[in-house]
């Protein structure tokens, strides 16, 4: 049964009134919903789409001022409000008509730790309460605990938040929101608590007897320590490097005194400057060489241009034209391969005519014709001659250029060779005198450099030591906190685990072992089923997973609640994703929660959960179960009407079960 | 032959020999080239085979005058003066610009030893190059120069004709000249029979020879025949570029029968002699008609003589048929013009074999 | 009639034609082809990186065993039509007009290397006699070998040129000279052909 280690006083909802919420309208007029909530199970049943989920959301909204965004993410308590407030506003915009928007409201009567709360929250502004009363009942008289008559709606809300947090004893309002929305509400979004590392960490931290702020502290401390260690290491590393440099310099100093330093330095300088010299020469010649190549290309293309011109002119030249070529008779002969005069045919006809023409003779009478075309020919010839000269000139230019290029190439190869040779010489020299550093000191005398380095070394050394010291300071606190957490787990194992096992067994039918483990800074749950660890969530089926999740939450609720201040779980029943065999088991699980542990549950159901409802009803009986149908709250569509009709039979069975009668 | 032998052989070839004689001087090759080309030009006006003296063409590598310039004659533009040269030694120096200088009646030993000079010599149907005092024989033909071998070519063609067409009477046109199938008697009777067949046969042969560059027939279409002659020469072959004419006269020996089977003509040796005279006359006429051409005259004698035949002879024995096969013509001494006139060839006798019994 | 003939092929045609006419009274089509082929081999000798070391047209061996290039063939036709060549019986001769045209273009630098090769080729036919030159070229072992493998094969000028080069190197010719290489090669062909016949 319940242990006395419960920490919190959870709330019990007594009454719900919803006004002017457009979704709940019949025959075009909005209806007011009033529900008295008894102990045990409050089950709201109806076809899909009637607004069951909305109903639960409205309740949660009334309590916390928030509707959760429909994704599976679980936010830490500090993040919840910011992440969901915008959605909250949008949610109700869509569900309330404009005309009702300002007047719609939810009124909740609830009791916590002997205090009775009465709140009215509008849907247009989540940060305000239209009414807040906190009172006790003595001798059936209402006695206000606080005066809220002169408070603004925002002040009312603030007071509410403060008071309820106090009464529950949970420390911060955001922890209350976390528990109310994440732990005690199981909705259609199937937000799994214990399969989500962060969520489980938050939930378990809150649950197992230590401050969430402790968790933050642990994390913070751990991070700090790690940073300090890293800084310390870096500083040490720097110090080491400097130390090595100092060693080298000292060595060099010594060596220099031993060897003929001046001479060697001179040698080195010579070799070095030779390298620089040869490199420059090499690069310069390379540029010159490339320029020559480029010039070659240019000339080549110039030559090509001229050649094309040449060909064109030559073509023209070798086709002398005769005036008579265009003569119609001649053309006729050509086309028909027939002599225009005597009509003889044959290919030789054309050849003969053309030959005569090209000899500038008349094909008929052999008279030599006016040789006006000769001028043209001469012109062409002259042009061709000019182009020919140009080509010849360019060719000789190119020839010279090629020769020059070849020479330059030889030069380049020599320069390259010299450059590499000088590099070789330098590296050889360096190798032979590897114990001496020539180039690192630049102009500074070694002594000065050593002094400088020494200063740096000291600095790094000091820093490093500092970092480690700081880290060591933090360590005890950290270890303390860690101890605290570990202790808490030990406790949990003693009391919490058996609770969960019970719920789990009634659902899944077999013994489960769970244990908590710290994974890094997170707290993880491990399942063991018949000796096989099922640590990964995907090793169980989806419905198994979320009913186990519910089982865990139930265990938490029982574990954490003080007697007479039991928790209320809000469950939006999953629609038809459970095996029938499991359905009754789920019903059992719910029944255990309510009957054995005196907890409360507000749930929604549709026809698919019939088996679940029946077994639940059987176990609970009328005393512990309230079964309500949503028929009257809204207009039904045809399909919904059909659904409701189908539900009739089931409903009767449930009624019978409640009354303790067995169904047929 | 292995490679070394090959190379040695190649080096025996006269252009290479000449080059080496001048230490591989490029000018030597140029000299050879120019001389070669000039020879072709010169031989358009000069037939070395007809020349009795020595003929030299020389080139100095540096174009220095070997012989005194004043004694020479510039003949670049009038090479035709060579046409009438007969006896004296001729020396022609050729220069890079293709100018030609001619010397005659000069003591040849003057220049044969000249330095850096390439010399071509033609003498007695033999030709040489003298390179740096080394004499290289380059003679190819039995007469004439290898640089101008039109007549020599005609000669060998006639020889070919003799052996391939006449000997066994393998030409279908020539065959029409026979009266009988045994080729004992020629066909006689009509004008130009059998001569026309024989001429046509030879003409066709020359015509069909694809490599023969001589033009058969008339040189100038306007002239039908040589003026003054009672009949035109049988065949004229002309070479335009080389400026040559060959006159070919065909005579036949043997007996011809007319259609009735009676013996029409009998030609013997005397016919050949007649031919010689006739050809000589043609030559004289041609000289006047074509004074600028190099002329050569050929007498082709188709020898169809048979031993002991008469009108009734139908078949002939081997002995009788081949009696004259190797019998040379007997030309009278005064008709042996070829001995005195280089332009006249010795008659070419072409014996035609009959089809003998028991062949 | 193809009016797109390259200047080179037109030049070769008339240059060779004139030389053959000068030396031998006339020429045939296959003789122009033969000497163009001969010239092209010698041309490779003069080739240097500056000019296109390219003869510009290739030869196959025709059914008669002669080299044949279609471009050159068309060039002959064109010269005929233009009145540069004239047909005389079996042969072609060059007209006065043809001579004039050649005179106009023979000194162009554009053609100078070709002219050199053509000159060497044609001069060879004077120095070695025409018949021998022709015979030597047609009986080239290399060409005969190719004809055995393939009908109308393409002549690989490069390969043959290598041979010429080899021989000339061994003979030793003055720089720039083509006549000695040409003459040597013809002789070589004559000697190796005679060899073949003896084998």
Number of domains in chain A: 2
Locate A610 and state its tokens. 């019939």
Beta bridge partners of A42: A602, A626
Interface contact B13, partner C, CB < 8 A: yes
Q: Which residues contact A594 (CB under 8 A, 6 or more apart)?
A: A40, A41, A600, A601, A620, A624, A625
The C-alpha atoms of residue A509 and residue A505 are separated, in whole angstroms, by 5
Q: If you average pLDDT over residues A236-253, what whole number do you get? A: 88
Residue-level pLDDT at A262: 76
Environment class of B258 (CB within 10 Å of its CB; exposed 0-12, middle 13-18, buried 19+): middle
Does the pLDDT of residue A374 top 90, yes or no? no
Query: Is the Cβ pair C7, A388 closer than 8 Å?
Result: no
For residue B52, the model assigns a pLDDT of: 84
Q: The tokens of A130 are what?
A: 């239209």
The answer to whether C175 contacts B146, with C-beta atoms less than 8 Å apart, is no
In this structure, is residue A69 part of a structural domain?
yes
Token output for A125: 């502004």
A131 versus C47: the higher-pLDDT residue is A131
Which chains are within 8 Å of C by 3+ CB pairs?
A: A, B
Tell me which chain C residues have a C-beta less than 8 angstroms from the C-beta of B293: none
At residue C140, the 3 state secondary structure works out as coil
Distance CA A509, CA B112 (A): 138
Q: Which of A221-230, A232-241, C51-60, C153-162 has the lowest mean pLDDT?
A: C51-60
Q: Can you give the pLDDT at residue A183? A: 87
* Contacts with C191 from chain B: Cβ below 8 Å: 1, 6, 9-10
C58 touches A: beta carbon within 8 Å: no
Shortest CA distance from B4: residue in chain C = C170
- Range scoring the smallest mean pLDDT among A79-88, A173-182, A514-523, A558-567: A514-523
**Per-residue pLDDT tens over the stretch C17-64:** 999 998 888 899 999 999 999 999 888 876 654 445 578 888 889 888
Rounded Cα distance, A364 and A367, in Å:
8
pLDDT at B218: 43
Same domain, A57 and A198: yes
Please name the residue of chain C whose CA is at the shortest distance from the CA of residue A316. C3
For residue A327, being part of any structural domain is answered with no
DSSP assignment string, B49-108: GG--S-EEEEEETT---SS-GGGSEE-TT-GGGGGG--SS-EEEEE-TT--EEEEES--T
Interval B131-142 mean pLDDT: 88
Q: Is B160 on the interface with C (CB under 8 A)?
A: no
Give the C-alpha distances (Å, rounded to integers) separating A365 from A17, A329, A360, A361, A368: 130, 15, 12, 8, 9
| C110 has a pLDDT exceeding 60 | yes
Tell me the C-alpha distance between B132 and B60, whole Å: 11
pLDDT of A62: 94
Total Cβ atoms within 10 A of residue C83: 21
Burial class (CB in 10 A: 0-12, 13-18, 19+), B275: buried
Q: What's the gap in Å between the CA of B240 and the closest CA on chain C?
A: 7
Given A378, A401, A432, the domain boundary residue is A432
Give the CA radius of gyration of chain B.
25
CB-nearest to C191 from B6, B15, B210 is B6
Stretch among A337-351, A534-548, C170-184 having the lowest mean pLDDT: A534-548
Q: What is the mean pLDDT of residues A43-61?
A: 86
- Confidence label for A499 from pLDDT (cuts 50, 70 and 90): confident
Considering the domain architecture, whether residues A298 and A173 belong to the same structural domain is answered as no
Instruction: Give A409-438 pLDDT, tens digit per residue.
Output: 999 999 999 999 999 999 988 888 776 666
CATH number at residue A406: 1.10.287
Percent of chain C with pLDDT over 70: 91
How confident is the model at residue C199, as a pLDDT?
Answer: 47
Specify the range with the lowest mean pLDDT, choosing from A430-434, B117-121, B210-214.
Answer: B210-214
Chain-chain contact of C83 with A399 (C-beta, under 8 angstroms): no
Q: Is 60 exceeded by the pLDDT of residue B117?
A: yes
- Whether residue A197 is predicted with pLDDT greater than 90 in this model: the reply is no
Over range C62-67, report the average pLDDT.
88
Phi-psi region of A602 (alpha: psi -120 to 50; beta: other; left: phi over 0): beta
Cβ(A495)–Cβ(A3) below 8 Å: yes
Q: pLDDT higher for A76 or B89?
A: B89
To the nearest whole angstrom, how far is the Cα of A393 from the nearest Cα of chain C?
9
Size of interface B-C (CB pairs under 8 A): 84
Residues in chain C within 8 Å Cβ distance of B14: 127
Tokens for C143?
């060409």
3-state helix, strand, coil in chain C (%, to 5): 65, 5, 30
Quick one: pLDDT band at residue B92, thresholds 50, 70, 90? Answer: very high
Average pLDDT over residues A633-653: 76
Please, which residues 237-296 of chain B have a Cβ atom closer than 8 Å to chain C?
239-242
Domain that holds residue A47: 12-222+476-659
Instruction: With beta carbons under 8 A apart, name residues in chain C contacting A399.
Output: 48, 50
Say if the Cβ atoms of C78 and A318 lie within 8 Å: yes
Bigger pLDDT: A280 or A363? A280
A294 lies in some domain: yes
The pLDDT of residue B10 is 86
Where does the pLDDT of residue A282 fall: very low under 50, low under 70, confident under 90, or very high at 90 and above? very high
Chain A residue nearest residue C1, CA to CA: A351
Single pTM value for the model: 0.56
Q: Quote the mean pLDDT of chain A.
A: 81
* DSSP H helical ranges for chain B: 3-11, 14-21, 26-42, 109-112, 150-161, 172-175, 195-208, 269-289, 318-321
Tell me the average pLDDT of chain B: 85
pLDDT band at A175 (very low <50, low <70, confident <90, very high): confident
Residue C1: predicted pLDDT: 36
Q: What is the ipTM of this complex?
A: 0.88
In this complex, which chains have at least 3 CB pairs below 8 Å with chain B?
C
- The residue ranges of every structural domain in chain B are 3-137, 150-351
First to last CA, chain C: 47
d(CA A82, CA A100): 26
Q: Could you say which DSSP state residue A323 is in?
A: G
Whole-angstrom CA distances from A91 to A55, A85, A201, B8 are 13, 10, 29, 114
Interatomic CA distance for residues C36 and C54, integer angstroms: 13
Lowest mean pLDDT among A327-341, A444-458, C171-185: A327-341
């Amino acid at each position: 049964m319940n242990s006395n280690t419960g920490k919190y006083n959870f709330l019990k909802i007594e009454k719900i009134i919803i006004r002017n919420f457009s979704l709940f309208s019949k025959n075009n007029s909005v209806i007011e919903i009033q529900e008295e909530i008894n102990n045990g199970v409050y089950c709201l049943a109806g076809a899909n789409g009637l607004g069951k989920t909305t109903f639960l959301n409205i309740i949660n909204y009334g309590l916390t001022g928030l509707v959760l965004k429909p994704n599976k993410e679980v936010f830490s308590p500090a993040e919840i409000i910011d992440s969901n407030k915008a959605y909250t506003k949008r949610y109700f915009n869509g569900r309330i008509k404009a005309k009702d928007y300002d007047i719609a409201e939810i009124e909740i009567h609830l009791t916590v730790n002997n205090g009775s709360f009465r709140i009215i929250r509008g849907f247009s502004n989540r940060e305000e309460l239209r009414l807040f009363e906190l009172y006790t009942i003595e001798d059936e008289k209402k006695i206000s605990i606080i005066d809220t008559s002169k408070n603004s709606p925002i002040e009312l809300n603030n007071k509410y938040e403060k008071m309820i947090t106090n009464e529950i004893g949970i420390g911060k309002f955001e922890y209350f929101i976390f528990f109310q929305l994440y732990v005690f509400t199981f909705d259609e979004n199937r937000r799994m608590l214990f399969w989500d590392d962060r969520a489980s960490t938050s939930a378990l931290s809150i649950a197992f007897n230590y401050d969430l702020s402790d968790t933050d502290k642990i994390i913070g401390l751990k991070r700090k320590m790690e940073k300090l260690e890293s800084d310390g290491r870096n500083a040490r590393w720097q110090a080491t490097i400097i130390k090595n440099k100092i060693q080298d310099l000292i060595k060099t100093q010594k060596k220099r005194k031993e060897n003929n330093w001046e001479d060697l330095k001179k040698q080195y300088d010579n070799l070095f400057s030779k390298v620089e010299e040869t490199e420059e020469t090499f690069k310069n010649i390379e540029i010159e060489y490339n320029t020559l190549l480029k010039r070659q290309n240019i000339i080549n293309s110039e030559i090509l241009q001229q050649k094309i011109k040449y060909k064109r002119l030559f073509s023209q030249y070798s086709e002398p034209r005769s005036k008579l070529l265009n003569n119609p008779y001649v053309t006729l002969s050509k086309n028909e391969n027939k002599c225009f005069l005597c009509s003889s045919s044959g290919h030789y006809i054309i050849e003969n005519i053309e030959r005569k023409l090209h000899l500038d003779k008349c094909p008929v009478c052999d008279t030599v014709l006016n040789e006006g075309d000769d001028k043209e020919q001469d012109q062409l010839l002259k042009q061709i001659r000019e182009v020919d000269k140009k080509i010849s000139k360019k060719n000789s230019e190119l020839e010279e250029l090629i020769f020059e290029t070849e020479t330059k190439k030889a030069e380049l190869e020599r320069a390259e060779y010299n450059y590499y040779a000088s590099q070789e010489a330098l590296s050889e020299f360096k190798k032979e005198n590897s114990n001496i550093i020539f180039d690192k000191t630049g102009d500074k005398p070694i002594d000065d450099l050593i002094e400088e380095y020494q200063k740096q070394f000291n600095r790094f050394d000091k820093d490093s030591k500092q970092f480690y010291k700081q880290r060591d300071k933090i360590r005890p606190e950290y270890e303390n906190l860690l101890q605290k957490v570990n202790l808490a787990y030990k406790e949990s194992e003693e009391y919490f685990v058996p609770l969960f096992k019970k719920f789990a067994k009634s659902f899944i039918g077999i013994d489960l072992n769970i244990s908590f483990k710290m994974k890094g800074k997170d707290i993880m749950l491990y399942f063991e089923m018949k000796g096989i660890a099922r640590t990964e969530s995907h090793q169980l089926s989806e419905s198994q997973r979320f009913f186990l999740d519910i089982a865990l939450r139930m265990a938490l609720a029982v574990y954490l609640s003080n007697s007479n201040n039991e928790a209320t779980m809000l469950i939006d029943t999953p629609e038809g994703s459970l095996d029938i065999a499991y359905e009754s088991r789920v019903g059992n699980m719910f029944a255990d929660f309510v009957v054995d542990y005196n907890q409360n549950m507000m749930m929604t159901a549709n026809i698919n959960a019939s088996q679940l409802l029946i077994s639940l009803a059987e176990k609970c009986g009328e005393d512990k179960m309230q079964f309500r149908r949503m028929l009257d709250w809204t207009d039904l569509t045809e399909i919904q009407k059909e659904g409701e009709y189908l539900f009739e039979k089931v409903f009767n069975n449930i009624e019978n079960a409640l009354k303790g009668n067995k169904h047929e | 032959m292995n490679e070394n032998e090959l190379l040695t052989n190649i080096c025996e070839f006269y252009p290479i020999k000449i080059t080496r004689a001048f230490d591989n001087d490029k000018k030597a090759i140029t000299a050879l080239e120019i001389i070669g080309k000039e020879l072709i030009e010169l031989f358009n006006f000069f037939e070395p085979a007809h020349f009795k003296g020595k003929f030299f063409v020389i080139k100095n590598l540096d174009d220095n005058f070997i012989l005194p310039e004043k004694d020479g004659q510039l003949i670049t533009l009038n090479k035709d003066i060579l046409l009438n040269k007969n006896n004296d030694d001729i020396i022609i120096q050729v220069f890079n610009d293709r100018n030609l200088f001619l010397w005659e009646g000069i003591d040849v030993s003057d220049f044969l030893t000249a330095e850096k000079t390439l010399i071509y010599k033609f003498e007695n149907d033999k030709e040489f190059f003298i390179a740096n005092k080394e004499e290289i024989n380059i003679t190819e033909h039995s007469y004439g120069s290898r640089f101008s071998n039109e007549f020599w070519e005609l000669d060998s063609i006639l020889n070919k004709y003799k052996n391939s067409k006449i000997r066994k009477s393998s030409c279908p046109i020539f065959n029409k000249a026979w009266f009988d199938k045994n080729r004992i008697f020629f066909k006689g009777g009509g004008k130009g029979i059998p001569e026309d067949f024989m001429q046509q046969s030879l003409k066709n042969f020359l015509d069909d020879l694809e490599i023969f560059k001589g033009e058969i027939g008339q040189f100038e279409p306007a002239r039908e025949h040589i003026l003054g002659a009672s009949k035109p020469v049988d065949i004229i072959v002309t070479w335009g570029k080389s400026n040559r004419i060959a006159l070919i006269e065909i005579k036949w020996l043997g007996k011809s029968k007319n259609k009735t089977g009676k013996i029409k003509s009998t030609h013997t040796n005397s016919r050949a002699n007649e031919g010689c005279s006739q050809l000589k006359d043609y030559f004289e006429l041609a000289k006047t008609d074509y004074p600028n051409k190099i002329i050569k005259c050929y007498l082709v004698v188709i020898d169809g003589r048979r031993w002991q035949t008469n009108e009734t002879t139908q078949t002939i024995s081997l002995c009788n048929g081949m009696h004259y096969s190797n019998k040379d013509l007997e030309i009278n001494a005064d008709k042996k013009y070829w001995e005195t006139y280089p332009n006249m060839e010795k008659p070419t006798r072409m014996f035609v074999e009959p089809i003998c019994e028991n062949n | 009639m193809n009016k797109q003939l390259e200047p080179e092929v037109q030049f070769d045609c008339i240059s060779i034609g004139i030389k053959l006419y000068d030396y031998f009274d006339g020429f045939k089509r296959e003789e122009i082809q033969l000497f163009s082929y001969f010239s092209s081999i010698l041309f490779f000798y003069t080739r240097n990186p500056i000019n296109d070391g390219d003869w510009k047209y290739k030869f196959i061996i025709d059914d008669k065993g002669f080299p044949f290039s279609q471009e050159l063939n068309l060039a002959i036709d064109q010269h005929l039509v233009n009145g540069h060549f004239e047909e005389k019986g079996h042969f072609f001769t060059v007209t006065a007009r043809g001579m004039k045209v050649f005179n106009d273009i023979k000194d162009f630098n554009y053609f100078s290397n070709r002219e050199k090769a053509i000159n060497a080729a044609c001069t060879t036919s004077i120095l070695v006699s025409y018949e021998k030159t022709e015979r030597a070229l047609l009986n080239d072992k290399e060409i005969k070998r190719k004809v055995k493998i393939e009908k109308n094969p393409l002549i690989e000028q490069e390969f043959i040129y290598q041979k010429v080069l080899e021989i000339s190197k061994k003979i030793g010719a003055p720089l720039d000279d083509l006549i000695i290489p040409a003459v040597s090669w013809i002789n070589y062909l004559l000697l190796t052909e005679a060899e073949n016949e003896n084998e």
